[in-house]
Structure 1
């Protein structure tokens, strides 16, 4: 089943909204001093699924500016396992009902939200109101309104909000961002970008639209980030198409989403976010050369080359680098690298992509 889609955007309105977001990004108090200086910030992971268990917890064994101080889980068996494995004291273990009492725990400075996207807004807001800084996994939320509420509450409570875009902390990503920013190879003409894997779990939240599942929210955000960062600009319109090859699994969420972004000056990006095929690459054509990354958004081994030479900056652990840099920004009262406004920029476009796919309009 294929649905052709196009998304209507007023360039004037889009750019005006983008300008407002950029202004907020510059002046919002993302990072606030914690009072008594700490050498390391204590982090509590909220949600103990695969990403927390297999990636964030091991990464926190390598961090210098932060450490695993607590956990929040609705599964008592998981709490007991983590308690023993990571030597977490009982007073730093919470469930979703007593979570708000984390406000009284000086051991925990940052709450890292690693839940399905439909739960992000609730727990970001609860964490900020509890006086904790917040790291939130991508996608930031289900829609722009939720993003705005999250940013507003964090700002009102003078708490930092950082979105878990680990790739923006990766020097390989920063290199193709630099090439666009400095126009080292001239203007960007054409971008091709895709991110995906084959999801076959019919009961997983990633295939449930109400929980924030779907290829566009999950893998499509990587392709969207790749295109935006490589272009060094914001899109002014989009067209899109959703393809469902396995309706028995993808009953209401998108399996594969193809989308095309149009940028100011004529730059075009052809992108795919997929739960139906394995893919991960970024290709950019400039006036004076090309760039190719394979992979461009993996957990490890992102590398490639351009007309200027090889792009291969090994990173020991992306998640550790991300959390260390965000923790240091908080301790130094500086802006975090990827604030909530950046997450909201993507969600604004994701909503437009879905609208285009549903209406068949640009």
Structure 2
């Protein structure tokens, strides 16, 4: 795998999981005229490679507009996707969306430091918002986004696609049914090699733009995974960092960060992230009578699960390929229609923002224990309410 690979370029081939009974009926394709319209804000790699293609196969969502600071690029993308000229927006006329009934949801796919401003502007325009993670670069901005949603009486969803991804849902359900006994330990490892020559990496290595370098870009997957795997919240964290300040990539962010969450059930979750180690997005859950090894666990495709019991690894089971982004956006569309509960609300993003701040606070205090029991409890367990696909 190339060292120039980005988080949003970690694309595999075929998902692996087991199909369980659906808690929510599988989505049925909606006539195009009745689909929920999405405006995609930012036309970088993720939008062009995953989000817009996902909207083409989504059952209840569709592309209604594009927003970009590059007019020629925006017009080209719009034309390629059959959008009229008036469905092309720039950041200077962003607020014109208030008068566009074709748009119900604005999907924010911008550098992290721009999330809060464009989210709040979308709410002022009367639109619902799906925002990429991390939701912001500070706890204060995340709280402002949630307040803006409430003031506008609109919905804010954070793009935690693993909440809707079949392999992760399967693992959550295995842990809930207790077939391997009590969970004792979770280990998450999320990182890659970053490259300043890549424009998309340059801002991720900028502390002000990213809000935390590798931790905000890759580590958030491990922070969130420990929480959704266990369906509980950590009560404390300790963390340490190792950063070579002579490396030009790490002038304003930490490199290797390792943390340890303690959960009320007694489970310990170890996590690490780095922009200077071999690409990996995996985790391991160790239970009393077996292990669940997901490696990779959070690619756009090709995620694999190995179940180990009695020292023997079982062959992985597979599902037909599925589009994770289509599933995520279809869920948001159903939330807007009042047909599905909000599984990944702004409060979920805020919890991760607070936990990442606690990690960095502990790093700054050389591994001091930071209390993290702020009272947050998720309203809906993805393992209970999110369906697994029954066909491709």
**What's the C-alpha RMSD, in Å, of the aligned pairs?**
1.8
Contact 2:158 2:349 in 1 (8 A): yes
Larger displacement relative to structure 2 (204-213 or 306-315): 306-315
Q: Does 1:82 align with 2:77?
A: yes
Contact 1:117 1:211 in 2 (8 A): yes
1:50 is aligned, of 45, 52, 67, to 45
Larger displacement relative to structure 2 (163-172 or 325-334): 325-334
In structure 2, how many angstroms separate the alpha carbons of the residues matched to 1:121 and 1:337? 20
Find the counterpart in structure 1 of residue 327 from structure 2: 321
Residue-by-residue CA offset, 1:87-142 (whole Å, 9 max, x unaligned): 22121111112111110001111100001111111111111111111100000112
Q: How does 1:314-353 map to 2 (within 5 A)?
A: 314-353=320-359
1:117 is aligned, of 109, 112, 116, to 112
Residue-by-residue CA offset, 1:224-252 (whole Å, 9 max, x unaligned): 12222222221111111222246212211
Q: How does 1:212-231 map to 2 (within 5 A)?
A: 212=210, 213-231=212-230
Find the counterpart in structure 1 of residue 256 from structure 2: 256
Q: Does 1:61 align with 2:62?
A: no
- Structure 1 pair 334–265 and aligned structure 2 pair: CA distance change class (3 A): closer
Contact 2:241 2:257 in 1 (8 A): yes
Larger displacement relative to structure 2 (178-187 or 292-301): 178-187
1:356 is aligned, of 358, 362, 367, to 362
- Structure 1 pair 182–42 and aligned structure 2 pair: CA distance change class (3 A): same
Q: Does 1:126 align with 2:133?
A: no
Q: TM-score, normalised by structure 2?
A: 0.79
Contact 1:304 1:312 in 2 (8 A): no
Q: How does 1:171-320 map to 2 (within 5 A)?
A: 171-201=166-196, 204-212=202-210, 213-245=212-244, 247-277=247-277, 278-307=279-308, 310=316, 312-320=318-326
- Structure 1 pair 159–311 and aligned structure 2 pair: CA distance change class (3 A): farther
CA-CA distance at 1:307 after TM superposition: 4.8
In structure 1, how many angstroms separate the alpha carbons of the residues matched to 2:320 and 2:262? 32
Find the counterpart in structure 1 of residue 145 from structure 2: 150
Residue-by-residue CA offset, 1:254-300 (whole Å, 9 max, x unaligned): 22221111112321111112211211211111122211111111110
Residue-by-residue CA offset, 1:30-85 (whole Å, 9 max, x unaligned): xxxxxxx9620111111111111111111111112111110111112212221321
CA-CA distance at 1:314 after TM superposition: 4.0
In structure 2, how many angstroms separate the alpha carbons of the residues matched to 1:243 and 1:272? 11
Residue-by-residue CA offset, 1:330-355 (whole Å, 9 max, x unaligned): 11354222111111111110010011
Find the counterpart in structure 2 of residue 11 from structure 1: none
Contact 2:107 2:129 in 1 (8 A): yes
Contact 1:41 1:66 in 2 (8 A): yes
- Structure 2: gaps (5+ residues): 1-31, 370-392
Find the counterpart in structure 2 of residue 165 from structure 1: 160
Contact 1:63 1:320 in 2 (8 A): yes
In structure 1, how many angstroms separate the alpha carbons of the residues matched to 2:350 and 2:320? 29
In structure 2, how many angstroms separate the alpha carbons of the residues matched to 1:217 and 1:172? 23
Find the counterpart in structure 2 of residue 7 from structure 1: none
Q: TM-score, normalised by structure 1?
A: 0.85
In structure 2, how many angstroms separate the alpha carbons of the residues matched to 1:192 and 1:45? 34
Contact 2:235 2:264 in 1 (8 A): yes
The secondary structure found in structure 2 opposite 1:74 is coil
- Taking CA–CA contacts closer than 8 Å with sequence separation of 6 or more, which of the two structures ends up with the larger relative contact order? 1
